[in-house]
Amino acid sequence: MSNTRNLTASLALALTGAIAMVTLPAHAETNTADKPAMEKCFGVSLKGKNDCKAGAGTSCAGTSTKDYQGNAFKAVAAGTCTTLKSPTSPTGHGQLEAFTEKM
């Protein structure tokens, strides 16, 4: 009787695992579809807080050398970049392209 219980428990566990593996990818795709569209926003990240490449001498995330660096970007929700503060940009707001900081 003990062997029957063990076999039943093992089969139930295997079936549960198989069902979870089949449903997980479908759930993961749903979550990515729920993410908002993003855009690169230059001149809004703080020193060392950029998302990726920040111009010459840098490679990727966290490599910007100063606050509001004109060639360093953060990924922000689409349509919000030009509303964010950037004291170094020509307009005083984030830019959709890299720029040379004003003095």
The answer to whether the predicted template modeling score (pTM) of the entire model surpasses 0.75 is: no
Q: Where are the alpha helices (DSSP H) in 34-71?
A: none
Query: Residue 89 — pLDDT band, cuts 50, 70, 90?
Result: very high
What pLDDT, in 10s, does the model give residues 15-65?
A: 555 555 544 455 455 556 688 899 999 999 999 999 976 666 666 788 889
Q: Using the 8-state DSSP alphabet, how is residue 9 labeled? A: H
Q: In the predicted model, is pLDDT for residue 66 greater than 90?
A: yes
